[in-house]
Structure 1
Amino acid sequence: MARKMALPKIGVNMTEAVITKWLVQPGDTVNEGDPVIEAETDKSTQEIYAAESGIVAKLLADEGQTVECYSDIMVLVDEGVEYKEDDDLCVNGEEPKAQASDPAVSAPDYAAEPAVVPAADVAGTRVRISPLAKKIARESGIDFRLVSPAEPGGRIVKADVLRFLQSGGAAVCAPAGAAVPEAEYEDVALPNIRKVIARSMHASLSEMAQLTHSFSFDATQVMAYRKIVKENAEKFGLANITFNDIILFAVSRVLLNHRDLNAHFLGDKMRYFTDVNLGMAVDTPRGLLVPTIFGANKMSLNEIAGAAKDLAKQAQEGTISPDLLVGASFTVSNLGTYGVEHFTPVINPPQTGILGVNNIQTKLKMVDGEAVPYQAMGISLTYDHRALDGAPASRFAQELCRTLENFMALLAK
């Protein structure tokens, strides 16, 4: 018996995925639980496993193709069963389209063609041409806009360009003088995660009333504490506690006193969180990801440091669960390690705020009439003015700065 396997839904927010790699091919035997594809969601790359055993008869999606959840991706048959194309009456709920045939052009030429690349013609309309056909035309010195596709209204493919060349079209296109050099470029399709980031950032900036306030604090005590911890980490079995971990810990404590920033703005209501679910921005090879440390306010500094490193590692390796990339009530983004002195972090909706962490600079302060140098760390708080005003937002930042300046006292609580 032949049956189809659909793309399952992984995580509550997943709607589609890009098939990045097939791990099986027609004729392979798979058992229930075997990985069959690698799929890129808007958050991470996951292996998708076979829901049942069988022999792979046909793949219904190509590598690089975006597939919606619950759409069919392959056909399985039982051992000894011969699969016939005529048995495949529907694909993803739709009748299969009839394949156009052209006796003058062999099928392999069309089958090998990648996606269509539109290009503007002289009149300003669009010419549908595959990248391979466009490349052959450019290398042959012909104007692809003079090539007619075999199928009226269809795209120009490799076979069309070759037929044009064989009919003497190159002579028609030969330039009278020196050819004008064409700028070289490469069009690269956006990965799925970049599309998601683009949509989220555009929605954030276009729908919110965002403002950023900048502050700095004396980092002398924080730096001294980190030095002590670093020197004794192995002795006491501590994680590698960084400045970012210290910031996360302080935010998780101070945020509880400022509920408008530990919340989601939902249009006609505010959702206030009892605990601090802290998002932390992580730079990964695939783009920005924001894993969540749930209940950070209940964790010790050492526990936060361990959780932050574990989540960052999973995010960078692309193995993190999508469920760990949602649910944050506030986010911290640290660009200080890149020498950034000030920036305007963008809120991740529906959150109402995000804290940017800047670098450490040497500043001067007056002590007994003398200018004394000290190490100052900058922070940038972006908040949604629809949810709270500038004064309460600034009070949070002030309390956070005071807390960090007296960090050792915070640990005594």
Structure 2
Amino acid sequence: MARKMALPKIGVNMTEAVIAKWLVKPGDKVNEGDPIIEAETDKSTQEIYATESGIVAKLLADEGQTVECYSDIMVLVDEGEEYQEETAEPQKEQAAAPQAGVRRMQLPKIGVNMTEAVIAKWLVKPGDKVNEGDPIIEAETDKSTQEIYATESGIVAKLLADEGQTVECYSDIMVLVDEGVEYKEEDLPEKAEEPKAQEAASPAAPAPAPIASAAPAVVPAGARVRISPLAKKIAKENGIDFRLVPPETPGGRIVKKDVLRFLESGGAAAANAAGAAVPAAEYEDVPMPNIRKVIAKSMHASLSEMAQLTHSFSFDATQIMAYRKLVKENAEKLGLANITFNDIILYAVSRVLPKHKDLNAHFLGDKMRYFTDVNLGMAVDTPRGLLVPTIFGANKLSLNEIALKAKELAKQAQEGTISPDLLSGASFTVSNLGTFGVEHFTPVINPPQTGILGVNNIQTRLKMVDGEAVPYQAMGISLTYDHRALDGAPASRFAQELCRTLENFMALLAK
């Protein structure tokens, strides 16, 4: 079917853009996420990506033309479909409101790879006034939890999605009205009504089976139950758990007559009897956050699909400890960031890694992808779980620039404001657990990367100097690598060179 694609809104303050260059032409096939135009905003020039797939039938804006956000820019058709001018329908998110002053707001796409999000928490309620750019929901994507902002201003008339619900990008999430406009429910398509009970049962219809013979199966804790508000109210008034009520249609919605049938057949008594037979253990079921599910899936896939091996090393940390003390004492005077041991490790890795290309790479099954620059991932502990922001082109940054960038990304990750695009694209990762006193651990590779460096704590050890045992401060590192991509010898050579570089850190800074 022919449909129009609109110019998406990129960033809270974007209202329009100039189409500097079209990257597609009529007849081209585009997939969701493909770059379609180079657009100039008041902030920068950047690529705009297709919000859906199809064949380009017509371009609706010229190069050099200024286009407002959400205005139609091209027509797409399905493969094999012949385009006729009058058949193109506006993209669903751009449907005109049926009443003046009433409009829907969609879930915006935050980052190129975002396709959906879980509404963790609503930050507004019906009756609230919101301005463009105000936070309206806390949303969990497959990368992080972050606030989503209103793309326009108005009074909240209705919320169209529940907390905990997964919503696709560009789907309607709430209704806004202009101040003074009265919102009517019929302005939105009505949901399917609850089936009305028949006046009389069909003679041929079998009578519902009694439920009293055994306690009904309970829906697993945390699972979503579809039930009408009236049915839920009746169940609560009669002191029964609505999860025990079977709907007339398996997998269907629980309605009033289902609850009444359950009560009439003695289901409540059976449930109470079953509950009295075995003392209930006390526990709390907490739904797993979406980001925790993503982390679990990624870690399991990493360990089950890769040939991972870890080598452990240590080095004399005397020089980096002396350097950090010197910088800390003079940072304010020299206008430097608070450079930490982790920043020093990141800097050293960014300088050593380009000489060991098999670790600055992605393993893609039948080929290797070697990166020119070091896009360095840094593991960050956040209230929502482990996130790995990327310092792009770390090999081109000074130590002070890496320290500033690392702190900026860590803060965004911990506050949940980081762009999903900054949580991917790393060519190698560093994970530092030394601050927690960890002496040794086996870091897990983030596929398709081929390696990850674990940083351990500092311990006092002894070494022989002129026949005497002399104490020194040693820092441990653990290198996990994908044995499918490289062997133990080249992996060890990288770790050895990194240790030498850190032991002679002052010389590295002179290069």
TM-score strictly above 0.5: yes
Matched, 1:22 2:122: yes
Which residue does the alignment assign to 2:107? 7
In the alignment, the residues of structure 1 paired with residue 397 and residue 287 of structure 2 have an alpha-carbon distance, to the nearest angstrom, of 42
Task: Give the conservation status (yes or no) of the 8 Å contact 2:310–2:480.
Answer: yes
- Residue 219 of structure 1: which of 290, 296, 317 is its match? 317
Match of residue 219, structure 2, among 120, 124, 128: 128
Is this contact kept in 2: 1:22–1:37, CA < 8 A? yes
Structure 1 residue 264 displacement after superposition: 1.0
1:303 equivalenced with 2:394 (yes/no): no
Q: CA deviation at 1:208?
A: 0.9
Give unpaired runs (5+ residues) of structure 1.
91-95, 104-120
Question: Taking CA–CA contacts closer than 8 Å with sequence separation of 6 or more, which of the two structures ends up with the larger relative contact order?
Answer: 1
Work out which of the residue numbers 478, 482, 485 in structure 2 matches 1:380.
478
Task: Give the superposed CA RMSD.
Answer: 3.6
- Alignment partners' CA distance in 2, 1:195 and 1:24: 27
**2:347 aligned to which of 246, 249, 253:** 249
| 2:161 equivalent to 1:61 | yes
> CA 1:82–1:270 in 2, change beyond 3 Å: closer, same or farther?
same
Q: 1:163 to 1:301 in 2, by over 3 A?
A: same
AA matched with 2:140: E
Post-superposition Cα deviations, 1:277-326, rounded to whole Å, max 9, x if no partner, equal 11110101111011111111111111111111111111111111112111
Letter of the structure 2 residue corresponding to residue 354 of structure 1: I
- Give the drift of 1:175: 6.9
CA contact (8 A) 1:342 1:380 kept: yes
Residue from 172, 176, 192 that aligns with 1:72: 172
1:36–1:338: structure 2 CA closer, same or farther, 3 Å change rule?
Answer: closer
- 1:225-273 residue CA offsets vs partner (Å, 9 max, x unmatched): 1111111112212111111111001000000100111111111111111
Aligned partner of residue 128 in structure 1, secondary structure:
coil
Q: What is the CA–CA distance in structure 1 between the aligned matches of 2:505 and 2:146, rounded to whole Å?
A: 40
1:198 is the counterpart of 2:296: yes
Code of the aligned partner of 1:71: S
2:86 paired residue number: none
- Residue 82 of structure 1 and its aligned partner are, at CA, apart by 6.0
Which of 178, 193, 196 is matched with 1:98 structurally? Answer: 193
Task: Name 1:116's counterpart in structure 2.
Answer: none
State how 1:206-355 maps to structure 2 within 5 Å: 206-355=304-453
In structure 2, how many angstroms separate the alpha carbons of the residues matched to 1:190 and 1:229?
Answer: 43
**1:161–1:183: structure 2 CA closer, same or farther, 3 Å change rule?**
farther
Deviation at 1:99, TM superposition (A): 1.8
The answer to whether 1:390 aligns with 2:481 is: no
Partner of residue 138, structure 2: 38
Q: 1:146-195 CA deviation, whole Å, 9 max, x = no partner?
A: x654746468899988997899877777779x965332111110111101
Contact 1:149/1:157, CA 8 A, preserved across alignment: no
What is the CA deviation profile of residues 304-355 of structure 1, one whole-angstrom value per residue up to 9, with x for unaligned ones?
A: 1111111111111111111211111110000011111111100111111100
Distance 1:170 1:22, change over 3 A: closer
| Cα drift, residue 88 of structure 1 | 3.6
Consecutive unaligned residues of structure 2, counting only runs of 5 or more, are: 1-98, 199-212, 226-230
CA distance in 1, matches of 2:147, 2:240: 45
Q: Answer whether contact 1:102 1:150 (CA < 8 A) is retained.
A: no
Shift of residue 402, structure 1, vs aligned partner: 0.4
Q: Distance in 1 between matches of 2:355 and 2:253?
A: 62
Amino acid at match of 2:386: L
CA distance 1:9–1:160, change in 2 (3 Å)? same
SS of equivalent residue, structure 2 residue 303: helix
Paired residue total = 386
In the alignment, does 2:284 pair up with 1:186? Answer: yes
What is the SS of the residue equivalent to 2:472?
strand
Distance 1:129 1:334, change over 3 A: closer
Residue 464 of structure 2 aligns with an amino acid whose one-letter code is M
Superposed CA offset, 1:354-410 (max 9, x none): 000001111121222222221110000001111111110000000000000111111
* Residue 9 of structure 1: how far off its partner (Å): 1.4
Distance in 1 between the 2:245 and 2:145 partners?
A: 41
- 1:214 shift after superposition: 0.4
Worse-matched range after superposition: 29-38 or 160-169 = 160-169
**Match of 2:125, as an amino acid?**
Q
1:361 alignment partner in structure 2: 459
2:433 counterpart letter in structure 1: L
